[in-house]
Structure 1
Amino acid sequence: MEKLLDICAELLDGNNYEALVATIVLIVSILLFKEFRKNKLESDSNNSQRTNEAIDLYSRALSTINKFEKDHFDINLLYDDLYTMYKYSPKDVISQIESWISDSNRNTLELTKILKNDMYYLKSLQYDSVSFRLKNEFCGAIEYYYHKHNFSSFVMPIVNTFISILSILVMVLFILTFNPVSISAKVLILVLLISSIMYMFLIMAVFDLIITKKFKYSKLNVLYASILVLSVMPLLIRINLIAVTLYTVYIWVYLIFILKRSIK
């Protein structure tokens, strides 16, 4: 880091401002990437630990159900196991369990189905050589190697770094061009800035949903996501009021209405 700072000082003394800006961007990018990757690795480790703990609790609850069916356990012991699972269970599963508990005509087959469905989902998040079985499918192989070698610990920090640097550069550009341009141009630049930041976050969110298997696949959802990815293309050809308006409207429509429908 000291060497990079020395280089910046030399470039400043030599009035080489373009190289100075590039060096500063490089330094900031490296620092951001390191921080994002550190957070990503910690998050992955915590998620893996929680997944393993949740599977253990689900297995214990299923075992208790089996013993309860054979009159070896009291119903209260089963309740204890179910309530212990709540800190790991999603809201919809908790709601289903609560409905089962309050149902006077309940049967354990229904509860077993609820728990197994969620446990199978948790198992699908394990990609270690012991738990995962590689399917003879091209996409399955790509998915396996992506998770097995933890490529997401590089991909996601790069995406986060790119979004951060892009946001900073666009903001700086907006500030530098604020005075000479007209009011309408200022508004257009500001709208484009905000929409572009939201666009990158949405792309990252959809990518994360696909990787974590929370994306709800349907023809419409795939179509909407494809349009989202391609919505920036007209702006790459020419920036005008119509292109920015259509781009901005679709970004916010996707954020407010479509994104939540794409989540399992």
Structure 2
Amino acid sequence: MSYIIEFLRSLFPDSTSAAISIIVTVLVFWMYKELRSNFLENGKSNQQRVDKALDIYSDIEFEIYKYLNEKSDLFIVTERISKASSLLPYDLLKSYIKFKETTEESLKRELLLKFHNDIEKEIYCLKLKQFDIVTFKNDKNIAASIEYYIKTKIAPFGIPLIYTYFNLVFLLLFILFTALIVSAPTVKEQIFLFSLVFAALFYLMFLYYIITEGFLKRRFKHSYTNWILLLLFALGLPSLVIFTGAWFSGILVFVMIFIYGYYAGRKSMRDL
């Protein structure tokens, strides 16, 4: 690090520019170190959780299999699933509660069969998330070998680097907008810039939520009203800021985001 600092000093003869470049460089190195450490720790923790879930799901699957072949008791099956509740996905937990609360024997068996099929699918999905030298299938599949190399060798360095880049860009934009707000000649312009920044952040966050929850998870209710309001939200709000330019337009956009968010949560999205 000391060599890098000396190199930066030689590049920038001006003491102020050199100080800024040194601060930014130290910040980038520190961010990358912390992000990489967190990435590796989270990856290890996630793999341990996957391994634990696989063991527990396999025990549940086998216990259900024994019960279906009259080698186990229903109470033991129910107890085993109940103890794994913290590791069950939301859909499987709902299926288990429905099965547990059912009193009709024929329906109870049918629900247990469905749960057995679902837990098998979950085991397959978790197995695909295991990436280590023991579970990796070492065959002549070049694509699989490349994927394994990227996830185990490149990703631990590349992904934290990408996160560092985005954090640095966000920090620089924050400093830029702060400087613009402070240097604005009038209070109205300061209010406009301040409200515009926060409105843009909330707009992008809510648009991301609609795309992931509404379309990727297929919760969006397709109706003329919902589509018209979605288009007005997605296209109308940026147009309002661009074509009006009023000092209060950022505040107006902020209020409209909350109004549409309240409507979308109640009318445009299906329940999970």
Q: TM-score when scaled to structure 2?
A: 0.64
1:144-190: CA deviations, max 9, x gaps? 34763354433442343233322332232233331343334333433
Query: Which structure 2 segments of 5+ residues have no match?
Result: 222-230
Aligned to 2:226: none
Matches within 5 A, 1:1-264: 1-3=1-3, 15-105=14-104, 106-107=108-109, 108-128=112-132, 130-131=135-136, 144-145=147-148, 148-149=151-152, 151-177=154-180, 178-194=182-198, 216=217, 241=245
Letter in 2 for 1:46: S
1:145, 1:131 → 2: CA distance? 8
1:39-80: CA deviations, max 9, x gaps? 011001110111111011111111111111222222222123
Letter in 2 for 1:164: N
Alpha-carbon offset, residue 38 of structure 1: 0.5
Q: Is the 8 A contact 2:32 2:160 kept in 1?
A: yes
What CA RMSD, in Å, does the superposition of the two structures yield over aligned residues?
4.9
SS of residue in 2 equivalent to 1:181: coil
Per mean C-alpha deviation after superposition, the further-off stretch among 23-32 and 193-202 is: 193-202
Q: Is the 8 A contact 2:92 2:115 kept in 1?
A: no
- Aligned residues, how many? 242
2:122, 2:114 → 1: CA distance? 13
1:189-241: CA deviations, max 9, x gaps? 334544666688789999xx8xxxxx548999xxxxxx9xxx9xx9xxx9994
Which structure has the larger Rg over C-alpha atoms?
Answer: 2
Relative to structure 1, the CA distance from residue 148 to residue 7 in structure 2 (aligned partners, 3 Å threshold; closer, same or farther) is: closer
Query: Which structure 1 segments of 5+ residues have no match?
Result: 210-214, 221-226
Relative to structure 1, the CA distance from residue 91 to residue 109 in structure 2 (aligned partners, 3 Å threshold; closer, same or farther) is: same
2:131, 2:178 → 1: CA distance? 46
Q: Is the 8 A contact 2:60 2:80 kept in 1?
A: yes
Alpha-carbon offset, residue 125 of structure 1: 1.9
Per mean C-alpha deviation after superposition, the further-off stretch among 99-108 and 118-127 is: 118-127
